[in-house]
């Protein structure tokens, strides 16, 4: 396993909490949309949003990957989905982020997510046997998500 570095370098490491989920089997497109929605939110607010997505009460706006996506009642946008599997996995990473902040002595309720990113991981290839001696590839895309939360200056 290669060492993956964070894409964001904070100014002061003492006021920052980081967490990364490495090569999680979930949809990359859903992870991108969820990360876009979580950036700028406080950690408890982000966790509450993901729990509501899992319960199918709040849809995630699909802003980039919106082709053939059904319309939902979202203020300021039209296309949305309830990506439950990706939300469950990202919620685990956010709980890890909160625990890392508490371990460093930071107040997790005051931290704002300043960096949320999803990256493509490895592609696992398997083969499915078909008729007449053929075989076709079956690919599974893995996704890496990273979060960085800093102490907000504005009260």
Q: How confident is the model over 54-105, as pLDDT tens digits?
A: 999 999 999 999 999 999 989 999 999 999 999 999 999 999 999 999 999 9
Let me know how long the chain is.
Answer: 155
Residue 7 inside a domain? The answer is: no
Residue 5 inside a domain? The answer is: no
Residue 39 inside a domain? The answer is: yes
Query: What is the rounded distance in angstroms from the CA atom of residue 84 to the CA atom of residue 53?
Result: 6
The pLDDT score that the predictor gives to residue 2 is 63
Residue 1 inside a domain? The answer is: no
Query: What is the rounded distance in angstroms from the CA atom of residue 35 to the CA atom of residue 141?
Result: 17
- Which residue's entry shows tokens 């490491």? 13
The pLDDT score that the predictor gives to residue 27 is 96
**Is the CB of residue 83 less than 8 Å from the CB of residue 60?**
yes
How much is the CA Rg of the chain, to the nearest whole Å? 18
Beta partners for residue 148, in sequence order: 18, 115
Q: In what order do the strands lie in the sheet with 77-81?
A: 60-61, 77-81, 71-74
Domain containing residue 48: CATH number: 3.90.470.10
Residue 59 inside a domain? The answer is: yes
Beta partners for residue 146, in sequence order: 20, 117
Structural domain total, the chain: 1
Residue 94 inside a domain? The answer is: yes
The pLDDT score that the predictor gives to residue 3 is 72
pTM, entire model: 0.91
Residue 122 inside a domain? The answer is: yes
Residue 41 inside a domain? The answer is: yes
The pLDDT score that the predictor gives to residue 16 is 95
Return the H-helix or E-strand segment holding 88: helix 84-103
**Is the CB of residue 120 less than 8 Å from the CB of residue 140?**
no
CB-based contacts of 96, cutoff 8 Å, min separation 6: 19, 21
Domain that holds residue 118: 17-151
Q: How do residues 2-37 score in pLDDT, each as one tens digit?
A: 678 889 999 888 999 999 999 999 999 999 999 999
**Is the CB of residue 63 less than 8 Å from the CB of residue 33?**
yes
């Amino acid at each position: 396993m290669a060492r993956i570095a964070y894409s964001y370098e904070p100014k002061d490491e003492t006021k920052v909490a980081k967490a990364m989920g490495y090569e999680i089997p979930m949809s990359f497109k859903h992870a991108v949309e969820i990360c876009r929605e979580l950036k700028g939110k406080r950690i408890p607010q982000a966790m509450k949003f993901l729990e509501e997505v899992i319960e199918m009460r709040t849809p995630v706006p699909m802003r980039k990957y919106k082709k053939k996506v059904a319309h939902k009642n979202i203020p300021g946008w039209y296309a949305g989905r309830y990506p439950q599997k990706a939300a469950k996995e990202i919620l685990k990473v956010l709980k890890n982020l909160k625990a890392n902040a508490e371990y460093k002595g930071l107040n997790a309720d005051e931290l704002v997510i300043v960096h949320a990113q999803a990256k493509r991981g490895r592609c696992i290839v398997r083969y499915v046997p078909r008729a007449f001696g053929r075989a076709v590839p079956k690919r599974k895309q893995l996704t890496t998500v990273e979060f960085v939360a800093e102490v907000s200056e504005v009260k």
